Amino acid sequence: MLAEDKHINPAGIVHGGMLATLLDHALSAIAWEANDRKPCITVALDVHFLAPARPGQFVAARGRIVRQASSLVFMQGNLTVDGDEIATACAILKIK
């Protein structure tokens, strides 16, 4: 995601809610693809913000499945800017 002025908060950095949304979307897409494109609903998302992102920076999202049960997917993910980690997340998704 290319961070733009519309993504910033009053402090001039990308809003944490935008970063959390990006993580949620990325992890959901990975779970969805890994489960024959069945809908996956986020049950829990724990985000840790490590550094700010600023307008004009490209924020890359990555994730992986840590464990999968019959109806739950346990995941980890992160966001980076220029290779530097700016946020991490753990998520649990339910397969519908």
How does pLDDT run across 21-70, given as a tens digit for each residue?
Answer: 999 999 999 999 999 999 999 999 999 999 999 999 999 999 999 999 99
Domain count, the chain: 1
Take residue 75 and report the two structure tokens written for it.
Answer: 């995941």
Domain that holds residue 34: 5-95
pLDDT at 27: 98
Closest CA to 87 of 6, 10, 24, 41: 24
Instruction: Measure the CA–CA gap between 61 and 26, rounded to whole angstroms.
Output: 6
Q: Specify the pLDDT at position 55.
A: 96
pLDDT-above-70 percentage for the chain = 100
CA gap 94, 96 in Å, rounded: 6
Model confidence pLDDT, tens digit, residues 57-96: 999 999 999 999 999 999 999 999 999 999 999 999 999 9
What global pTM score does this model have?
A: 0.93
CATH of the domain at 76: 3.10.129.10
Helix (H) or strand (E) holding 26, with range, is: helix 16-34
Handedness of CA 65, 68, 71, 74 (dihedral sign): negative
